A and B are shown apart, each in its own frame.
Chain A
Amino acid sequence: MSSQINVTINGFQLEIEKGKTILDAANKAGIIIPTLCYHKDLCIAGNCRVCVVEVAGQKRLAAACATPCEEEMEIHSNSLKVRNSRKHIIELLLSEHNSDCTKCYKNGNCELQELASEYKIMTQDFLRLAPLKNYTIDQFSPSIVKDDSKCIRCQRCVRTCAEMQGVNALTVAYKGDEMKIATFFEKAMNDVICTNCGQCVNHCPTGALVEHNYIEEVWDAISDPQKHVVVQTAPAIRVGLGEELGLEVGERVTGKMVSALKRLGFNSVLDTDFTADLTIIEEGTELLNRLRKVLAEKDDQVKLPLATSCSPGWIKYVEHMYPEFLEHLSTCKSPQQMFGALVKTYYAKANKIDPDKIVSVSIMPCTAKKFEANRPEMHDSGFRDVDYVLTTRELAIMIKQAGINFAKLPDAKYDRLMGESTGAGAIFGATGGVMEAALRTAYELVTGREVPFKNLNIIPVRGMEGVKEAGIKIDHPLKEWSFLDGIELKCAVAHGLVNAKKVMDAVKNGTSDYHFIEIMACPGGCLGGGGQPIPTSPEIRQKRTEAIYAEDKNMPLRKSHENPEVLKIYQDYLGEPLGAKSHLLLHTKYTPRDRF
């Protein structure tokens, strides 16, 4: 029984698995069929109709993305009929689209623009419909700007928000000529259950959904001689930035990135990986404390499992969807916010700089970090802890604006204080990374031995499966931790909020016995974040993941508790993990929000 069938595309014969679409067959044959509503991460919509092809014997054209191949199918993707239709459809989309490209943030990185250019749509014969619709731009969110006049209604954002994130902040509303993508009652994105994760931005083919950018504000700060501008870079930037600047997907550009930031004029280039290591110490201690309270002291006020709190999209998701579980969240701020709080205190003090003059900028793979930095509670340094958050894409724009030839840059090293990191901090950028880093430290703390995995690589928590589970049995712990003897520490790791929901529902229903769960809002973790280079796909995220683990492998230190600057900060400034100062600067609380 063969499940292979034969088709021809443009005269080229090939065998393909039954059930595959015409688009799959074309890909296999090396024939490019343009698409817009199609995205590898999402279910098939078949609504833009750009991918139509001619199938011999059929009166109408078929959408290649939505039509399964059949035995002996004869497909033409470049016939006169197809070309004319495709051109018409692109013209139609342009007529309904605000095609003032030179004023668009996505100019040069827009799939519709690319198609228009490819098909040389030189005239604007059809009536312009976009100006008639009186759309206003929603820029109330610190993270995301939504401009309906640029929307082509491919529904990629809606599918992303529903299928990948399970948030459903966006929906398709109205019908006919009024049909559009809307939030509940067309409220501002900031006023609905949007988690600011930015996956919609990452999946939008045009400029309808973009990050709220702060490029000019950062340039202004850099140009202000009165200001001391400090920049921190998240773990996932160094494996994504290169894509935006003409390098291969998955190329590690840590050294070049540091060089570029220095050339942009930042006074100090520091590493969020440092506070990632610090997070491990704080959160690891928190985990062990909770374990002690629950298991040894039988304190039923203390909640397990403990959930990570690095991902601000995840935090806002819990606040909306599981407000009754806020106590499960680690009170640790995210590495970005720990960093921000320390820059204007510890760093300022050590370098004898007036914290008022410090502008703290972070480069994040994330749009939710913009919202996080904007939270009213994030002022523990006495100032706004992080002033501006730029995405990987915004940094790339600045590098281009500065005329820096990124590919030719020499490598440079991070500045000190708060520039030292370990492999454990680096893997924060991948799903499972926080878990792995935490286990490397916690296990050693408890047993005095390294985690029982070859080369410290805790493989069960790595990879692209939506929900991963792992257990580590603790044998012969140090005396202080004897209550953990023989206990299997149960962990779950989820990425993408739709997977987070699975874990949380298991916790809610009492069908799980996890001690510790790591959740990242975005697919693949931060490396697949909403602020990372566009496009994204499972393959791209896989390559970035490999780069992250390569980064870890090549680090001389791979355990957070061995980071010398981390040891130093406890010695010089913080005192002890979960101490009073830590509590003030490094920990936070959460706000219950409504689900509807």
Chain B
Amino acid sequence: MVAATYQLKRADFIFKNDNDWKKILDKSLKKPSQELINELMSSELKGRGGAGFPTGLKWKLTAEYRSDKKYVICNADEGEPGTFKDREILSEVPYKVLTAMAVCAHVVGSQEGFIYLRGEYKFLAPELTKVIGEFEHYCKEAGLNFSVKIFLGSGAYICGEETALFESMEGKRGEPRNKPPYPTSFGYLGKATVVNNVETLAHAFTIFKYGAKKFYDLGVQYSRGSKLFSVSGDTPKPGIYELELGMSLQDFVAEFGDGDTKAVQVGGASGFLVPRKRFEKTTIGYRGKLTGISLPTGGSMMLFNSSRSMYNVLDNYLDFFREESCGQCTPCRVGCQQLHSGIKAVKRGEKPAQYLNKLLKLTETMQLTAKCGLGQSVANSFSSIVENFREEMIY
């Protein structure tokens, strides 16, 4: 089946609340570790934060690693521009997330969990704390020794990068570490750690509830299951939608566009800008052997109509990256400054149009050499905007 012809399909798992988490938790805790891992692996659930690492494999590696202490961390440092689904999950169905964390703890052998909540969502903390209290109480009754603490961020996008997140939790500057070693063996405080995005955990709950097949049957090859999309920008219906993976951007725009959609930014500022002419050939899912272009995403979908200047859009992204880069590695720290100042210089006519080519080459270097995903992914939006809307960049 060719993915590009896939229709938009709504799903309703994440926010559907049967209030049955206790049952699911009891059921799961009775199962051996290996069975739960197999379940996750056969569901083909991939990380919903955007990187798309197979969740089952992550749990398996951590479970297999010998360590006196292990941690389970829910990554709620949702900072990617255009993403706001994790906040909604944590305020609507926090029990699902906590249940999946507890199952993960059972699988990998951990007693301590954390929710790294971005500072911007501090207002969620009081309610969440209450929920955690009840949850921990039930865990105790169910015979599981597992505690969850909220760790509050303080305004740093990069802390969503898992190793930067550890550093931040350790009371340091949120600077990504060298990898390897990976978190599955060397994470928080140097111990084996599972870090899962909020939504990933919510899907894990779905899988533990309905079984892997139900999840696997959604979506397309290499991109199984449903996904939450945060829809914003020039759209008559901004909001959060659960859709099956594998849809074409064409179908997406037909549903969410305002009739004049010029381009869609898939995956936030660190994702790609897709121009109208590519809507049809672009599917939303993880890279695989799909025909056409397949874009992975943390779920941020920002629509731009023809009234928008793509120069301003890029300017805004680069301003963001220039500030939010941790600053430790050269390609990202200096690269972001050069890109940002560079497009301004071209726009003002202080640099020739060909200077854009030099900047495009620079983004290739950033992609190849930056220490972490932030610096590596700046190239995505830069090149997709400059290549498709070059005339808008030039004086």
Contact = CB atoms under 8 A, between A and B. Distances in A.
Q: Within 8 Å by CB, do A and B touch in the complex? A: yes
B322 interface: yes
B336 A93 contact: no
B345 interface: yes
Contact of B328 (A81, A126, A153): A153
A127 B173 CA distance: 28
A61 B327 CA distance: 19
B52 to A, nearest CB: 14
A567 B180 CA distance: 63
Nearest to B367: A60
Contacts of A46: 178, 329, 371
Contacts of B173: 172, 175
A44 interface: yes
Nearest to A52: B369
Contacts of B329: 46-49
Nearest to B322: A177
Given A177-B323, A177-B325, A49 B178 contact: no
A176 B378 CA distance: 13
Contacts of A88: 331, 361-362, 365, 369
Contact of A89 (B178, B345, B367, B369): B369
Contact of A176 (B327, B330, B355): B327
Interface in A26-58: 44-50, 52
Nearest to A94: B334
A216 interface: no
Given A66-B178, A126-B338, A177-B322, A153 B365 contact: no
Given A48-B330, A127-B341, A176 B369 contact: no
A49 B370 contact: yes
A46 B362 CA distance: 20
B51 interface: no
A71 B175 CA distance: 29
Interface size class of B (residues with CB under 8 A): 35 or more
B338 A85 contact: no
Contacts of A155: 328
Contact of B330 (A44, A47, A67): A47
B26 interface: no
Given A93-B334, A127-B342, A129-B341, A177 B368 contact: no
A92 B331 contact: yes
Nearest to B323: A176
A152 B331 CA distance: 12
B362 to A, nearest CB: 6
A153 B330 CA distance: 8
Given A93-B334, A127-B345, A129-B337, A85 B323 contact: no
A85 B325 contact: no
Given A175-B156, A176-B323, A95 B334 contact: yes
A45 B322 CA distance: 21
A49 B180 contact: no
A394 to B, nearest CB: 31
Nearest to A63: B178
Contacts of A282: none
A49 B358 contact: no
Interface string B259-289: 0000000000000000000000000000000
Interface string B199-237: 000000000000000000000000000000000000000
Interface string A158-175: 000000000000001011
Interface in A55-94: 60-61, 63, 66-68, 81, 84-85, 88-89, 92-93
B interface, over-half SS: helix
B55 interface: no
Contacts of B242: none
Nearest to B344: A127
A26 to B, nearest CB: 17
Interface string B81-115: 00000000000000000000000000000000000
A176 B371 contact: no
Nearest to B375: A49
B3 interface: no
Contacts of B175: 172
A24 interface: no
The residue in B330, B338, B361, B370 that gathers the most chain A C-beta atoms within 10 A of its C-beta is B330
A153 B178 contact: no
B325 A81 contact: no
Contacts of A60: 367-369, 376
A49 B370 CA distance: 7
A125 interface: yes
Contacts of B70: none
Interface of B: 156, 158, 173, 175, 178, 180, 321-331, 333-338, 341-342, 345, 351, 355, 358, 361-362, 365, 367-371, 376
Given A92-B330, A178-B327, A179-B327, 5 more contacts: A60-B367, A92-B331, A92-B338, A129-B338, A155-B328
Instruction: In the A-B complex, list the 3 residue pairs whose CB atoms are closest, starting with the nearest.
Output: A179-B327, A92-B334, A66-B178
23 contacts: A45-B328, A46-B371, A49-B369, A49-B370, A61-B368, A61-B369, A67-B180, A84-B361, A88-B331, A92-B331, A92-B338, A93-B330, A126-B358, A127-B345, A129-B337, A153-B333, A155-B328, A172-B173, A175-B327, A176-B325, A177-B322, A177-B323, A178-B327
